[in-house]
Amino acid sequence: MKRHLPVISLVFLLCFASGCQDKAAMAELEAFKSQAALEEQNKAIYARYMGAWIRGDAEALKTIFSPGYVWRAPSGEMASLEQTLGHLEKQVAMFSDRTVSNEEIIAKGDRVIGRYVLEASHTGSVEGLPATGNKIKSMGIEIIRIENGRIVEAWEVFDSLGLFQQLGYELKPKATEK
C-alpha cells in the first residue's frame, strides 16, 4: 500500500491540475463568448444608427447617440449631437432618394468600423448651393465608440472632394493678394 501512495498522489495531482486547466480554459472561453456577443451587439447598434441616419430619423438618433456625443473629422473639426442633427437636416434637404450600403462592419471591443457607400440625387438647395439634379455616389469610413449601448464618439473620413466634383464644382486655388 505504501508503494502505491506516491502513484495515487501523482494521479490525484494530475487530475486536480487538469481540472484546474479545464476551469481556466472554460473561463477563457466564456470571456471570449461574452466579448463576441458584445461586439455583435455593437455592430447592431451601428446598423441601427446608419438606418436611422438614412431615414433622416433624428428622434431615433437621439436614443442611439449619447447626450455628449461628439463627431470628429480629420481636419480637426468637431460637432456636438445638436450640430450633427443639424447636418442631417441639411443632408436630407439637399439629397433626395438617399441610400447607404454598409460595405463592411468590423467590431473590436467598444469600437465599430464601418465602410459605406452613399448614393443620392442632389435635388435641394442648401446654404447657397443650388440643386444640380446630379446623382452622386461617395464613400466613407467611420469609427464609432460605444459606451453603455450608446454611441459616444465618431471619427469619419468622407470623400467630400469627390462629392463636390460629382455635383459639378471645381477646385480652384484662392486668389492671392499682390
pLDDT in tens, the chain (178 residues): 556 556 555 555 555 555 556 888 888 888 888 888 899 999 999 999 999 999 999 999 999 999 999 999 999 999 999 999 999 999 999 998 999 999 999 999 999 999 999 999 999 999 888 999 999 999 999 999 999 999 999 999 999 999 989 999 888 888 877 6
> What pLDDT shows up at residue 34?
86
Prediction pTM value:
0.80
3-state secondary structure of 129: strand
The predicted-structure confidence for 110-134, as pLDDT tens digits, reads as follows 999 999 999 999 999 998 889 999 9
Asked if CATH classification 3.40.50.1220 holds for the domain at 4-166, the reply, yes or no, is: no
Domain boundaries, the chain: 4-166
> What pLDDT shows up at residue 12?
59
Sheet order of strands, 111-122 included: 78-80, 65-72, 150-158, 135-147, 111-122, 95-108
All 3 cell numbers of residue 6?
506516491
The predicted-structure confidence for 48-60, as pLDDT tens digits, reads as follows 999 999 999 999 9
All 3 cell numbers of residue 107?
467590431
